[in-house]
Structure 1
Amino acid sequence: MSRKLNEAEKNYVIAEKELLAICDAFKEWRHHLLGAKYTVTVYTDHRNLQFMSSARLLTPRQLRWMLFFAEFDFVVTFRPGKDNRKADALSRQESTTLPAVQTSRAIIAPDKVLCIIKTEDFFEDIRNSFTVEKWQAWAQADPKRSIKQGLPFYDARLFVPTTKLRKIVFHWLHVIPTAGHPGAPKTLELIQRYFWWPTLTKDVKTMVNNCEVCARTKISHSKPKGLLHPLPTPSRPWEHISLDFITGLPVVQQHSVILVVVDSLTKYGHFIACKKLPTSSELATILLNRVVRYHGLPKVILSDRVSQFAYNFWKTWCKTLQVTSTLSTSHHPQTDGQTERLNQTLKQYLRAYAEKTLNSWTSMLWLAELAYNNSFHTSTGVTPFFGLFGYHPDTLPITIPQESALTPAVSEIIQHLHQTQKSIQQHLEKAKQKYKKHYDKKHCEGPQYQPGDKVWLSTKHIDFKTKHMFNPKFIGPYTVLQQINPVTYKLQFPKSLQIHPVFHTSLLKKAVQKVRPHPAPVLVQGEEEYEVKKVLDSKLRGRNLWYLIPWKGYGPESNSWVSASDVHAPVLVRRFHPLNPDKPGPRARLGEGSTVNTRTVRALRASRMQKPNTRKIK
C-alpha cells in the first residue's frame, strides 16, 4: 500500500512520518494483525522507531498513536536502507518487467490442518516388510495377486501386511475428521475400497469396538438392557410399604409437601401433608403417628434415594425397630412403580379440583385418600379399602334401600377377609407376570458383569457444567465392585465424582478393552471443572484472551481453546508467559476503560510521566 501525504502531514518531523507509515499500515491490515497468533515484526530503516515505546516524552499525536498500537502484538526491528529494498518498490518506477507467476502456494493455518499423511513412508514400510523374492512368490500363488511399483495388490486393492500398518489405515478411514468415526460396516466399506488383508472384516469389528471415542459418543439403538424382576409379594397387609414425596405445591397453611405411603399388598394409601421436606427424625415421628399407630411396624420400607433415607439417624431408627430400609435404584423408577403411579393419580385428582383446591388443597387430602382407596385396583381385583377391611365404605349422599340380611358371625367376617387377601395375592402375582411379559418384550437381557470388569456409564442422568449436544454419551470406564441384584451393579468412582455408585444395567455398557479411565470433573464451589494439565499456547479473539489447554488424563485429541476467564490455573498461567514472551498475555486496564497488553504497560506508564501541559489519556 502507498499514498500521498496531505498538507498537514508534510509538516511532520521525519520520525513522525515514519511512524505514520506504520500507523496507516496497521489500520489497512487491522483485520489481519489484530489477534495474530504470532508476534508481528515491523522492519524499518529509521533506527529511532525501535525506542519509541520506551520514550519518556511523547507529543499528543505520538501518544494517540501509542494507544492505538497497544491493541497489537508487534516489535519494531531496524533494517538498514540497503537491505530494506522491498519498501522502496512502491516509490520507484519499474525498470524491468517481472515474469508472471506460474504457481501459487496457499498458506494454511496450523489449526486448520486436519491431518498429515506421509504416504511415501507408508509405502516404503510395505515394501520393506518382506524381501523382493517373498513378494514375488506371494504374487505367483494367486492370480488375483500382483506387484505394481514394488507394492503388493490383491484384486486391485493394496495389501497391508503388518498390524502396525493396518492400524494406520484404520486411523485414516475411521478416526480423522474426514472419516467421522463410522460404525463397523461403513468403516469396512471405506477400507475395502483401497486396501485388503485376510482378516480385514474381523479386525475392523475389533478396532471399532475398541475405539474409545465411539464408546463415549455413540448411543445404543438396541432394546434397553435389563429384564424386569418384580419385588416379592407380601404375606400380609402393611408388611411391605413404600414412601415418596410430592413437592412443588402451592404453600397453604405453611404446607407445601405431601408424603405418600402405600401398602404393597392391598395398595391402601395414606396422603400426609408436610410443611417442608421432613428430616429423618421428623419423618420417623410422622410414620409412628400416622402409619405404625394404625397398622403396626412394617418389615420393609422402600423409598427413593433422597437425603432423608441416607442419614445415619434413619438407618439407626430402622435397625432399632428391626425394619429393613430399601432404596430404589438410581434413575430406575420401575423399582417403586406403585408409588410413582399413585403420585400421578393424586396429582390428577388435585388438578381436577384445581379451581377449588388451589388455596385449600390440604383440606382436600382426606377426600383424595378416600376416593383413591375406594377405587377398583386392576392388579388386586378389589379396592384398597375392601382389601384391607373386607367391606366397602358408604360414600353416597343418599341411602339406597336394601334387603335386610342377618349379621354374619365374627368368624365368618375374619374368614372372608383372609380369603379376600389371599385372592389379592393371587391377583398380584398374575398382574406382575403380565406386566413383566409386557416389559420384557421391549427390553433385552443385559450382560452379566463380574467384579473387576470395566464398564462405561451413561451420562443420561449426569449434570454437566455446560449442557449442550456435544457432551459425551458415556464416561469412564469404571470398575464393577459388586452385583447388588441381577440387574443392578455398584461401581468404583474417584473421590471427585460425588454420585451414588449403584446403577441399573440399562445405564452401563461393557468396555471392550482396558483403557485408562478419564478423570471425572472435580467439584469447585458446587460446579464441575476438569483439571488443567498445562498451558500450550495463547491467542486473542478480538479483545479476549484464550488458552490452548490439554486436560489431565485425556489425549491430545481433547485439547481445546478455553477463554482465560474460565481457566482457573494461575500457577500454570504464570509459568507459561515467562517461557513464551512472544505470546499474547493477560490484559491490564488503563485509564477509563482502555485495555492494553501487559507487555506494553511499561511504555504506556512512561508516556504518562510527561509535562503538565500534555493532554490526559481518555
Structure 2
Amino acid sequence: MVPEWKWDRITMDFVTGLPLTPKKKDAIWVVVDRLTKLAHFIPVRVDYSLDKLADLYVAEIVRLHGVPLSIISDRDPRFTLQFWKKLQEALGTKLSFSTAFHPQTDRQSERVIQILEHVLRCCILEIQGNWEKYLPYRHKCRTPLYWIELREKRIHGVDLIRETKEKVKVIRDCLKVASDRQKSYSNLKRKEIEFKVGDKVFLKVSYWRKVLRFGRKGKLSPRFIGPYEVTKRIGQGAYWLDLPPELEKIRDFFHVSMLHRYRSDPLHVIVPTEVEIQPDLTYGEEPVKILVREAKQLRNKSIALVKVLWQRHRIEEATWEPEETMRNLYPNLFAGKIFEDENP
C-alpha cells in the first residue's frame, strides 16, 4: 500500500552490536517514513526499557511528525508487549509485524540499515568508536511561517503547501508505478500456496558455506528439515508450526516462502537431531580429527594449515583450515601423533 502522506506509515528496526560510545550507547533505533524515505537514527542502549523507548518515540517521532497510521516492525520482544500495543491503540496506530526470516515484509528498514552500517563501517577509523557524535539523526526543516529577513515576517503558506502537495503526488505516483511493476514481475511465476491446520510441511534452512551436509557441498546439500505440522495460520502468508524441543530457540512462525508441502512418505523424513540448527536457521558441524599438517609459503610469511576430517563425512571430503583458527576453536584436536614434538 502506497502511503497517502508523509509519515502516515513508518517502519522501524534496531541496529545492535555497535561499539560503546562515551555516552554509553550501543545501538541505533532506525525509524523510516515509507513515502519520503526520510529516516531518523536514534542512539539507544540495547537494555533500554519499553517505557524509555516510548518516551523517545513520542519525543523524536510523534513530536515532529504526528501520530502515524501504521507501524511495521520485527517481532522484537519489546514491541510485542501489551504496553506497546495499548500505547499504539490509544494513539490510533495499527501495528504490523514482519514474519520470521522474510525480510521483504520490512525490507525498507533493512535497506536503510545496510546503508547506515556501511557508512559507520567506513568512518569507524576516523571517529574512533564515537559514532553517536556524528550520527545524522537530526534533520533541518521549515514551517509555512518563517523569517526571511530580520524583523520581517512573511507568510509563505499557500505556495509552500501547494508545492509540497504537488511533490508528494509525484512521489506517490512514482512509488505506485514501481510497486505495480515489481508486483507484475513477481506474479509471473508466483503461485498461491495455502496450507490448512494439520498439514505437514518441510521447513527451509540456510546452508553455511564451507560446511558439508550428507556428503554434498553448498547448493547440493539438503535445504529442508521436517516435516512439521501446521498449527495456525497468520494473515495471508504466515503459519505457526509445531516444532520439536531441539528447535525451541527458533521462532515457530514462518512465511509461506519458507515452507514446502509434505507428501506422505517415511523416506522423506530428515531428522533434525543430526545437526544443530541455530536460531537464524543456519547449521555447523564438529571436526573429528586432524589428518595432515603442512605450511603454505607466501611471499613474506608462512601460514600453517591442517586438514580436518568432519563428523559424518568421508576422508576424501576433509577440508584445509588455518591451524591458528582450529587451535582456538578446538584445542583438543592437537594431541595426535603429528603434534608429538609440540606435546612432550
TM-score range, shorter chain: 0.5 to 0.7
Q: Which residue of 2 aligns with 1:451?
A: 197
Q: Which residue of 2 aligns with 1:240?
A: 9
Q: CA deviation at 1:364?
A: 0.9
| 2: CA distance, partners of 1:497 / 1:345 | 33
Q: Which residue of 2 aligns with 1:264?
A: 34
2:27/2:44 contact within 8 Å kept: yes
Q: Which residue of 1 aligns with 2:213?
A: 469
Matched position secondary structure for 1:336: helix
| 2: CA distance, partners of 1:236 / 1:308 | 28
Deviations 1:203-247 (A, max 9, x none): xxxxxxxxxxxxxxxxxxxxxxxxxxxxx1122222211111112
Q: Which residue of 1 aligns with 2:333?
A: none
| 2: CA distance, partners of 1:482 / 1:414 | 48
**Does residue 252 of the first structure (1) align with residue 2 of the second (2)?**
no
Matched position secondary structure for 1:418: helix
Q: Which residue of 2 aligns with 1:47?
A: none
Q: Which residue of 1 aligns with 2:242?
A: 492
Q: Classify 1:359/1:447 alpha carbon distance in 2 versus 1 (closer, same or farther; 3 Å).
A: closer
Work out which structure has the larger RCO, using CA pairs closer than 8 Å and 6 or more positions apart in sequence: 1
Counterpart residue type for residue 474 of structure 1: F
**Does residue 314 of the first structure (1) align with residue 84 of the second (2)?**
yes
Q: Classify 1:314/1:520 alpha carbon distance in 2 versus 1 (closer, same or farther; 3 Å).
A: farther
Deviations 1:555-591 (A, max 9, x none): xxxxxx9xxxxxxxxxxxxxxxxxxxxxxxxxxxxxx
Q: CA deviation at 1:308?
A: 1.9
Q: Which residue of 2 aligns with 1:426?
A: 173
Larger deviation, residues 327-336 vs 315-324: 315-324
Q: Which residue of 1 aligns with 2:254?
A: 503
| 2: CA distance, partners of 1:352 / 1:437 | 37
Q: CA deviation at 1:505?
A: 1.8
Counterpart residue type for residue 416 of structure 1: E
| 2: CA distance, partners of 1:285 / 1:365 | 20
Give the structure-2-normalised TM-score. 0.64
Q: CA deviation at 1:331?
A: 0.5
**Does residue 416 of the first structure (1) align with residue 163 of the second (2)?**
yes
Deviations 1:139-169 (A, max 9, x none): xxxxxxxxxxxxxxxxxxxxxxxxxxxxxxx
Q: 59, 71, 82: which one pairs with 1:289?
A: 59
Counterpart residue type for residue 432 of structure 1: S
Q: Which residue of 2 aligns with 1:301?
A: 71
Q: Spell out the pairing of 1:83-122 with structure 2 (5 A cutoff).
A: none
Count of residue correspondences: 256
Q: CA deviation at 1:357?
A: 1.9
Deviations 1:237-261 (A, max 9, x none): 2221111111222211111111111
RMSD across aligned positions (CA): 3.4
Deviations 1:529-580 (A, max 9, x none): xxxxxxxxxxxxxxxxxxxxxxxxxxxxxxxx9xxxxxxxxxxxxxxxxxxx
Counterpart residue type for residue 271 of structure 1: F
Q: Structure 1: which 5+ residue stretches go unaligned?
A: 1-231, 374-384, 391-406, 528-560, 562-618
**Does residue 344 of the first structure (1) align with residue 91 of the second (2)?**
no
Matched position secondary structure for 2:46: coil
Give the structure-1-normalised TM-score. 0.37
Counterpart residue type for residue 100 of structure 2: S
**Percentage of pairs with the same residue:** 32
Q: CA deviation at 1:307?
A: 2.1
Q: Spell out the pairing of 1:166-565 with structure 2 (5 A cutoff).
A: 232-253=1-22, 254-366=24-136, 370=139, 409-439=156-186, 444-460=190-206, 469-470=213-214, 473-493=223-243, 497-498=247-248, 499-513=250-264
Counterpart residue type for residue 475 of structure 1: I
Structure (1 or 2) with the greater helix fraction: 1
Counterpart residue type for residue 445 of structure 1: K
Q: Spell out the pairing of 1:76-87 with structure 2 (5 A cutoff).
A: none
| 1: CA distance, partners of 2:236 / 2:263 | 21
Q: CA deviation at 1:495?
A: 6.4
Counterpart residue type for residue 122 of structure 2: A
Matched position secondary structure for 1:310: coil
| 1: CA distance, partners of 2:143 / 2:212 | 54
Matched position secondary structure for 1:411: helix
Q: Structure 2: which 5+ residue stretches go unaligned?
A: 145-153, 215-220, 280-311, 313-344
Deviations 1:358-377 (A, max 9, x none): 333111113x665xx9xxxx
Matched position secondary structure for 1:350: helix
Q: Classify 1:257/1:409 alpha carbon distance in 2 versus 1 (closer, same or farther; 3 Å).
A: closer
Q: CA deviation at 1:502?
A: 2.0
1:446/1:506 contact within 8 Å kept: no
Deviations 1:399-432 (A, max 9, x none): xxxxxxxx78422221221222122211111121
Q: Classify 1:345/1:497 alpha carbon distance in 2 versus 1 (closer, same or farther; 3 Å).
A: closer
Matched position secondary structure for 1:450: coil
Q: Classify 1:244/1:255 alpha carbon distance in 2 versus 1 (closer, same or farther; 3 Å).
A: same
Q: Classify 1:514/1:283 alpha carbon distance in 2 versus 1 (closer, same or farther; 3 Å).
A: farther
| 1: CA distance, partners of 2:74 / 2:143 | 28
